[in-house]
Amino acid sequence: MTKKQKEKRIMLITYHFPPSLAVGGKRMTSFVKHLPAYRWKPFVLTLDEKHIENRDSEIAPELDHIKIIRTGLLPSMRGCYLFMKRKLNRKHSLENAENGTLRWESKRTKISRKREGFGRKLKRHISSLLIALPDFERNWILPAIDRALKEIKKEKIDVILTSGPPHSVHIVGLVVSTMTNVHWTADFRDPWMTPFNKRFYPTSRLSNRVERWLERKIFQKADVILTTTERLNDKFNAEYGDLSKAKIKFLPNGFDEDDFKELRSLNNYDIFTISYTGSIYFGRSPEPLFQAIQELIEENKVSPDEIRVKLIGNCETIGPRLTMNVIASYGLDSVVEISGYIPYRKALKITRQSHLALLLASDQPYQIPAKVYDCMGTKTKILALTKKGATADLINSTGIGKVIAPDDIENIKDYLQYLFHNQKKTMERVEFSCNQYSRSELVKDLALELDHIVTS
């Protein structure tokens, strides 16, 4: 039998994929890159490029020979709102932020339901069912199902793999798998309804019941459930172990050594630099760092000319406030720089040249931000402002950085002062055994699972 005859076919169904800068696409890109080495031919079903807001101008060469199927979105109430919002000029949008007007996305926050009036309650219930069930990307479900059914038949797909969030993608998998009986792997990069109800979206008692039912259906139907952290894996086993503990598998994120080889020769910036790349949202805030630096400057332990903070990405606002105004309130205008989105590889270069990488992971006990693995690749020390959870577990076990609670300003100050006055320590790149986080090895484990489900 020839190698071509032995080759099996998998369709990766993912909302986020290059050229999108969304971190969810990085994991799928690694699957696409390494699966062919294990005789799996990948196909990708994803969102049409015209709907991608933040794009990476650098195209990954490993995608050149992959069939990527792109499909659009149905009109949605939220889409109409965002379309009208984009028609407003940038200055007006920022003025709204300065005056305390929250963006639509920012309203995915906790609202005291004890003080909730009838009108707001009605709006929340309608939104929970018609706009945010299961998430704001729901209008991709039907176009994706339609195209997936056609491509599965045309390309003789053996397995589909859905990756969420957004968890709308798993509903695509549930419907497609039910209609075709194709094997299905569901990849949960973040929690959905377990171990707690969905957060950062409008919800109601009815929407929670529907979404918990959908989540259970996914666990019943999928052949394999993947998680990215051991803590989430344990929670899934506790909740759905009655269905089959054997199908719930831990497959962490990781990094490709090849992506970082050309960065190895780069030196640190001349000025002590702390960098943050990504978005400031979901209650994340760099203010504990700002306060620590402000106090160090006031105590004459650090000069403002000797330290820099780079905020790179979607960092223009912190909640309802303009970030530049927050920076000014701490007297750090000359210290903190704000930049917009940049290509992924350029962001890696900045992280490599920084003395310290800032990580904001508050209230995320079951997730690990992808930036942790980028720092593993660049071998840059991490300052993680978070509490106990999966991120703290990983950083502490690898020794790649320091975990400090966001409200522990004194400890943040002590760590910054130590690194600032011992900069040679920050130039000593973090070394640790990283074989378990090598993407090629991780995808090998995935391929073994895929082989098992198609032969069992």
Check if 3-74+136-254+438-455 and 257-433 are the same fold: yes
Distance CA 364, CA 28 (A): 22
Q: At what angle do helices 24-34 and 439-455 cross, to 10 degrees?
A: 70
Range from 34-43, 59-68, 69-78, 100-109 that averages highest in pLDDT: 34-43
The pLDDT value recorded for residue 84 is 64
Q: Where are the domains of the chain?
A: 3-74+136-254+438-455, 257-433
Mean pLDDT over the full length of the chain: 87
Cβ-based neighbours of 389, under 8 Å, separated by 6 or more: 231, 361, 364, 365, 366, 367
Separation in Å, CA 248 to CA 174, 192, 222, 224, 345: 16, 15, 10, 6, 33
The tens digit of pLDDT for each residue in 304-337 reads 999 999 999 999 999 889 999 999 999 999 999 9
What integer is the mean pLDDT of 84-92? 55
Residue 182 has pLDDT above 80, yes or no: yes
- 410 burial level (CB within 10 Å; 0-12, 13-18, 19+): exposed
What integer is the mean pLDDT of 429-450? 80
DSSP code, position 430 = -
Distance CA 16, CA 29 (A): 10
Residue 185 has pLDDT above 80, yes or no: yes
The pLDDT value recorded for residue 95 is 47
Distance CA 155, CA 43 (A): 9
Q: Name the superfamily (CATH) of residues 3-74+136-254+438-455.
A: Glycogen Phosphorylase B; (3.40.50.2000)
Structure tokens at 212: 């918990």
Burial 228-252 (b: 16+ CB within 10 A, else e): bbebbbbbbbebbeebeeebbbbbb
165 preceded by a cis bond (ω within 30 of 0): yes
290 three-class SS:
helix
The tens digit of pLDDT for each residue in 46-85 reads 999 999 988 887 767 778 889 999 999 998 777 666 666 6
**Which is more confident, 245 or 202?**
202
CB 147 within 8 A of CB 69: yes
The pLDDT value recorded for residue 434 is 60
The residues facing 358 across adjacent strands are 383
Residue 110 has pLDDT above 60, yes or no: no
Burial 357-386 (b: 16+ CB within 10 A, else e): bbbbbbebbbbbbbbbbbbbbbbbbbbbbb
Structure tokens at 94: 């920022």
DSSP code, position 60 = P
The pLDDT value recorded for residue 2 is 46
Q: How many CB atoms lie within 10 A of CB 142?
A: 14
Backbone angles phi, psi at 7, to 5 degrees: -65, 130
What integer is the mean pLDDT of 85-96? 51
Rounded percentage of the chain residues whose pLDDT exceeds 90: 64
Instruction: Classify strands 401-404 and 317-318 as parallel, antiparallel or unpaired.
Output: unpaired
CB 283 within 8 A of CB 363: yes
**Which is more confident, 41 or 95?**
41
Residue 254 has pLDDT above 80, yes or no: yes
CA neighbor of 187 nearest in space, from 125, 261, 249, 277: 249
CB 186 within 8 A of CB 155: no
The tens digit of pLDDT for each residue in 376-403 reads 889 899 999 999 999 999 999 888 899 9
Distance CA 71, CA 139 (A): 11
Cβ-based neighbours of 339, under 8 Å, separated by 6 or more: 310, 311, 312, 313, 315
Written as one string, the DSSP assignment of 199-261 is -SS---HHHHHHHHHHHHHHHHH-SEEEESSHHHHHHHHHHHHHHHGGGEEE----B-GGGGG
- The structure's pTM equals 0.87
Chain-centroid distance, C-alpha 190 = 8
Task: Give me the CATH code for the 257-433 domain, please.
Answer: 3.40.50.2000
Q: How many CB atoms lie within 10 A of CB 412?
A: 23
Range from 87-91, 109-113, 116-120, 223-227 that averages highest in pLDDT: 223-227
The residues facing 41 across adjacent strands are 9
**Which is more confident, 441 or 336?**
336
The pLDDT value recorded for residue 11 is 98
CB 310 within 8 A of CB 276: yes
Is residue 341 very low, low, confident or very high in pLDDT (cuts 50, 70, 90)? confident
Cβ-based neighbours of 371, under 8 Å, separated by 6 or more: 23, 277, 278, 351, 357, 359
Range from 119-123, 171-175, 303-307, 333-337 carrying the lowest mean pLDDT: 119-123
Range from 117-131, 341-355, 432-446 carrying the lowest mean pLDDT: 432-446
Amino acid at 271: I
What integer is the mean pLDDT of 142-147? 98
